[in-house]
Homo-oligomer: A and B are copies of this chain.
Amino acid sequence: MILSRACEYAVQALIYATSQRPERFLAVRDVALATRIPMAYLSKIIQRLVARGLLSSRKGPRGGVRLARLAGAIKVLDIVEAIDGLGFLNRCVIGHPRCSETHPCPLHDAWGPLRDEIQGLLARRSLGDLVRELRGRGLPGRRS
């Protein structure tokens, strides 16, 4: 598993938040119901997204959470960084403790470009892109 389950949940929840009118505050409970993510756990994850500045929140009736920035300004990599951190992009594939550019493991050279592609993909795609992809499924002219 490349991303933690919590991180997968975060992406799913943020996609849902983006797909609704981003102006409005959504109750965590509603996000949990819509995405079928365990509500109390999602609550923790969302707390973290709020702390990291991806979501803003409001307490009390008619409160909830909403995107803190425009959907186009939140990259998938931002979400991953907020939940999992970016360590998995630097870590040696076979866990060799001394793996580096000067002391590469036997998979290092072949893995490097792949790792860069993964990072690039996550860094390019924004929440806005993902929701547009969801809506425009099957239409010509998509980027990938």
Contacts and interface: CB of A to CB of B under 8 A. Distances in A.
A96 interface: yes
Interface stretch (A50-58, A66-74, A127-135): A127-135
A24 B142 CA distance: 56
Interface stretch (A25-33, A38-46, A105-113): A105-113
A94 B8 contact: yes
A115 to B, nearest CB: 9
Given A15-B106, A76-B107, A144-B109, A2 B121 contact: no
Contacts of A97: 36
Interface of A: 1-3, 5, 8-9, 11-12, 15, 36, 76, 88, 91, 93-97, 104, 106-107, 109-111, 114, 117-118, 121, 125, 129-131, 133-134, 137, 142, 144
